[in-house]
Amino acid sequence: MSRVLMLIAIAFGNALRGIRRASTTSLLAVLTIAVVLVLVGSAALLVENMSGLLDEFGAELQVTAYLEPGLPAEAQRELAERVGSAPGVEAVLLVDEAAALARFERIAGGAELLAGLEENPLPASIEVRLRADARTAESLAVLTDSLEGLPGIAELAQGQEWIEGYARAVALARGIATGIGIVLGLAALLIVANTIRLAVYARRDELDILALVGASRTFVRVPFLLEGTIQGLLGGLVALLVVWGAYELLLPQVRFGLELVLGRAELHFFTTVESVRLVLAGAGLGLLGSMTALVGAGSET
Amino acid sequence: MRLYHVSKSYMAGQYALHDVSLEVRRGEFVFLTGPSGAGKTTLMELIFAAEQPSEGQILVLGRNVARIGAGAIPALRRRVGVVFQDFKLLQDRTVEENVRLALDVIGTPRREARARVFQMLKSVGLQHRRFHHPLSLSGGEQQRVALARALVNEPEILLADEPTGNLDPELTIEIMDLIVSASTRGTTVIVATHDHGLIDRYGKRVLRLENGRVVEDHPAASSSIGASA
């Protein structure tokens, strides 16, 4: 084994020895990092899924034209054709009264709700899907102006306001998650720094002896940096497991609620790359904490 | 090793060492003696760069310790073995691991390090105790471990600060014989001690310090002296 590999092996050995020796404080550091990353990871997962839904809605931004009651089927089809030729329209879908009822029953189990009614209360509608280049406020305004004057259209509904509100909510959630991440990250950093500082203090005799026998500054410092990094890595792994467990546990309820409200719910957990990032964030926190501790530890290190 | 007008002051006007000039030649054995507070330990600390002089120059193994940068100190210390009265052993490590520390810091491959530690422990008669922890050893044995650690790197200089201060007379002779044998292999040795019986027994050069000054430099009764260390 070359000298460099030997020094690396010794540094790892010393780091693991340090963790074993101060197992309680090390465990505290691991758990602190885990708690921080569980909170930050959960918030990130929430924001990620909210953004995903926003993108889906954005891609399917549409205008719904509700038709006047009693409009004959032939007139409905003609109206749909005219709407289809309006500026910015990619496609139209005519949903007659029967189709609207069937959709309501499928989503909300509405058969029981509507069982007492003699007539179908749901109006026919034309769902207008916009071209990608027309999904702007200005284009939408031009389209709604041209549709509002058409005979047979009772009301226009557009999802833009709702989507804008949702986008604001996503931005807020992202801001809050970032804020929480920064504050808790700093707290974790301080706790890891104190853990390492305690380790430096507890091992000052060893450090004195190492200095006596000619240990370089790097030889002395690297095990402490590794110690913090290992603690962070373990904290990151624990956090990933906890977030994954909570996701699996809560997924059925959340999915049911979203399907009820939105008609669908394409939720997903972190990708492999994102999961690795979460764990590495823990390692980074640990490493930064160790560096902070060593900067303040003085001449011993 | 040469000291030129070296002074060390921790407080203004109060000197732990004052205008000390001396030379110790390669392979020489020197007893450093004097009452408590005379400056023996300070002198040792200056030689292995644990302290910087307030005034003067110190040449050790071709380096000026008074101007040495922090990054160069480890390399110097690998060439200077140090032994203390209180052994300075790590209690949670075995005898072998304690001695191996001096080899670990330079990344000596494990197999080579073990072989060298075994040979070193054999030379101080402790090879059979290599897997024991220091607390299970007697004071004399612990000092032999400390000596083995100081010598395993084959240092050019050995500094021993009251190495027998905690030992009974029989163990004192045992440890001193080991130190003297290191000297006969070419290592420059400086031993700080209060023990006049020891000084008389070995008949080596004696530097006597009082109030931070060299007040006596008594040559060895018989010694082989080479180039400056």
DSSP states of B94-146: -HHHHHHHHHHTTT--HHHHHHHHHHHHHHTT-GGGTTS-GGGS-HHHHHHHH
What is the CATH architecture of B30-40+73-218?
Answer: 3-Layer(aba) Sandwich (3.40)
SS3 category, A16: helix
| Shared domain check, A169 and A145 | no
Nearest CA to B39 among B10, B74, B1?
B10
Q: Name the residue of chain A whose CA is nearest to B82's CA.
A: A212
Pairwise pLDDT comparison (A25 vs A114), residue with the higher score: A25
**B108 to chain A, closest Cα gap in Å:** 6
The C-alpha atoms of residue A221 and residue A210 are separated, in whole angstroms, by 11
Distance CA A61, CA A55 (A): 10
Residue A106 maps to which CATH number?
3.30.70.3040
Confidence at residue A265, expressed as pLDDT on a 0 to 100 scale: 61
* CB spacing of B82 vs A212 below 8 angstroms: yes
pLDDT at residue A171 tops 70: yes
A131 touches chain B (CB under 8 A): no
A85 and A195 belong to one structural domain: no
- If asked whether residues A18 and A119 sit together in one domain, one would say no
A120 and A235 in a common domain? no
- Cβ <8 Å between A212 and B153: no
ipTM of predicted assembly, 2 dp: 0.85
| Pairs of residues, one from chain A and one from chain B, whose beta carbons lie less than 8 Å apart | 60
Compare all CA atoms of chain A with the CA of B149 and give the residue at the minimum distance: A213
Contact A215 B105 (CB under 8 A): yes
Q: Which two tokens stand for residue A113?
A: 């709700």
- CA–CA distance, A154 with B105 (Å, rounded to integer): 85
* Pairwise CB contact (< 8 Å): A214 & B107: no
Q: How far apart are CA B112 and CA A169, in angstroms?
A: 65
Of the partner residues B48, B74, B108, the one whose CB lies closest to the CB of residue A216: B74
- The pLDDT, as a whole number, for residue B187 is 94
Positions in chain B short of pLDDT 70: 222-229
Shared domain for A114 and A147, answered yes or no, is yes
Asked if residue A9 and residue A99 are part of one domain, the reply reads no
Q: Which two tokens stand for residue B125?
A: 């008669």
Residues A109 and A236 occupy one common structural domain? no
Note the pLDDT tens digit of each residue in B38-90. Answer: 999 999 999 999 999 999 999 999 999 999 988 899 999 999 999 998 889 99
**Residue A221 and residue A142 share a domain:** no
Question: Which pLDDT score is estimated for B211?
Answer: 92
* pLDDT at residue A263 tops 70: no
Q: Which chain A residues are within 8 Å of B82, Cβ to Cβ?
A: 212
Q: pLDDT: is B222 or A199 the higher one?
A: A199
Domain of A195, in residue numbers: 3-57+164-300
pLDDT given for residue A122 in this prediction: 84
pLDDT of amino acid A166: 64
Q: How close B70 comes to chain A (CA, Å)?
A: 9
* pLDDT at residue A257 is higher than 80: no
Q: Which residues of A touch B92 (CB under 8 A)?
A: 21
Place of tokens 């301080």: A190
How confident is the model over A110-151, as pLDDT tens digits? Answer: 566 666 677 788 889 998 887 777 766 677 778 888 888 788
Which of A104, A138, A158 finishes a domain? Answer: A158
B106 touches chain A (CB under 8 A): yes
- Tokens coding B121: 């422990």
Nearest to B107 among A7, A21, A211 (CB): A7
End of a domain among A158, A183, A216? A158
Q: Does A13 touch chain B (CB under 8 A)?
A: no
Whether A235 shows a pLDDT value over 50: the answer reads yes
pLDDT score, position B226: 42
B26: Cβ contacts below 8 Å, ≥ 6 apart: B156, B186, B188, B226, B227, B228, B229
CA distance B161 to chain A (A): 13
What pLDDT is attached to residue B225? Answer: 42
Chain B interface, mutation test: which of A4, A16, A213, A222, most B Cβ atoms within 10 Å? A213
Q: How do B188-192 and B205-210 pair as beta strands?
A: unpaired
Model pLDDT, residue B2: 95
Query: What gap in Å lies between CA A33 and CA A237, rounded to an integer?
Result: 10
Contacts of A3 in chain B (CB under 8 A): 106-109
pLDDT at B130: 94
Q: Are residues A132 and A24 in the same domain?
A: no
The residue among A78 and A118 whose pLDDT is bigger is A78
Query: Which residue is closest to B77 within chain A, CA to CA?
Result: A214
Pick from B77, B104, B109: CB nearest A212 = B77
From residue A43, how far is each of A47, A167, A172, A187 by CA, in Å?
Answer: 6, 16, 11, 17
Same-domain pairing of A194 and A126: no
Residue A44, judged by CB atoms within 10 A of its CB (0-12, 13-18, 19+), counts as buried
B86 touches chain A (CB under 8 A): no
Residue after which a domain boundary falls, among A127, A158, A189: A158
Residues in chain B with CB shorter than 8 Å from the CB of A213 are 77-78, 101-102, 105, 149, 153
Separation in Å, CA of B200 to nearest CA in chain A: 30
Residues A43 and A182 in one domain: yes
Number of domains in chain A: 2
CB contact B104 to A (< 8 Å): yes
Average pLDDT, chain A: 82
Can you tell me the mean pLDDT for A183-190? 82
In this structure, the answer to whether residues A283 and A251 fall within a common structural domain is: yes
Give the single-character DSSP code of A299.
G
Q: Does B69 touch chain A (CB under 8 A)?
A: no
Interatomic CA distance for residues B201 and B195, integer angstroms: 10
